[in-house]
Copies of this chain bind each other. A is one copy, B any other.
Amino acid sequence: MTKGRLEAFTDGVIAILITIMVLELRPPEGSELSDLRPLVPTLLAYLLSFVFLAIYWNNHHHLFRVVDHVDGAVLWANMALLFWLSLTPFATAWMGEHHTDPAPVAIYGVVLLGAAVAYFVLARVLLRLHEPSSQLAIALGKDWKGKLSALAYAVAIALAVVSTWLALAIYVAVAIVWLIPDRRISRVMAGG
């Protein structure tokens, strides 16, 4: 019950965030195809954030499939994750307009890093409630992928001062790593 309402609330917030970003895509004044060209960076920033939010939804979905019970600390750890994710539209809009300036690109990375850390904390808080032999503990394992992603974001934030393209390349690379399906999880889901 509790778990169900937590999942539903999270789904609601992520669904809203993923669609609210479209509001940043303002139609151009003119009506020529070439009037769309200045929007291309904004559209690509939107696509990148769409993929990130979709990855979080997918991971959250997988995570809670193996969760048995939750407590108040889990609710608040989940809220912290949602707070960081809720900053995505803001960071996306700023970076979409200034993708060659260090500050907006670095701040985008800070939001990604914040969300990654919040997700890590959420997983730890959940592990505290479950046996080491539980499905959850096995599924999470050492979570190298999550830890390396956070590290990659930290590196990208520092690199944004040197080259925004390098930082953006790291953001895209992390997204691609998460897009490649995890064979173990696919196996579990086929049986779901």
By a CB distance below 8 angstroms, the chain B residues around A17 are 19, 22
By a CB distance below 8 angstroms, the chain B residues around A54 are 76, 79
User: Which of B2, B32, B98, B181 is in CB contact (< 8 Å) with A61?
Assistant: B2
By a CB distance below 8 angstroms, the chain B residues around A182 are 72
Question: With the chains together, A65 CA to B16 CA distance in Å?
Answer: 24
Q: How far is the CB of A162 from chain B (nearest CB, A)?
A: 15
Cβ proximity bits A70-106 to B, threshold 8 Å, 1 near / 0 not = 1111011001001100110110011001100101101
By a CB distance below 8 angstroms, the chain B residues around A71 are 181, 186, 189-190
A57 at the interface (CB under 8 A from B): yes
Cβ proximity bits A17-45 to B, threshold 8 Å, 1 near / 0 not = 11110110111100111011000000000
Question: With the chains together, A167 CA to B71 CA distance in Å?
Answer: 32
Q: Are A61 and B94 in contact (CB under 8 A)?
A: no
Q: How far is the CB of A105 from chain B (nearest CB, A)?
A: 9
A18-B90 contact, Cβ under 8 Å, with A11-B8, A69-B190: no
By a CB distance below 8 angstroms, the chain B residues around A35 are 103
By a CB distance below 8 angstroms, the chain B residues around A47 are 83
Query: Which 5 A/B pairs are nearest by Cβ-Cβ distance?
Result: A12-B15, A27-B94, A31-B101, A31-B98, A72-B181
With A16-B19, A16-B20 already in contact, 20 other A-B pairs whose C-beta atoms are closer than 8 Å:
A1-B192, A2-B65, A8-B8, A9-B57, A20-B20, A22-B90, A26-B93, A28-B94, A31-B101, A31-B103, A35-B103, A50-B79, A50-B83, A54-B76, A54-B79, A69-B191, A69-B192, A71-B190, A76-B179, A129-B190
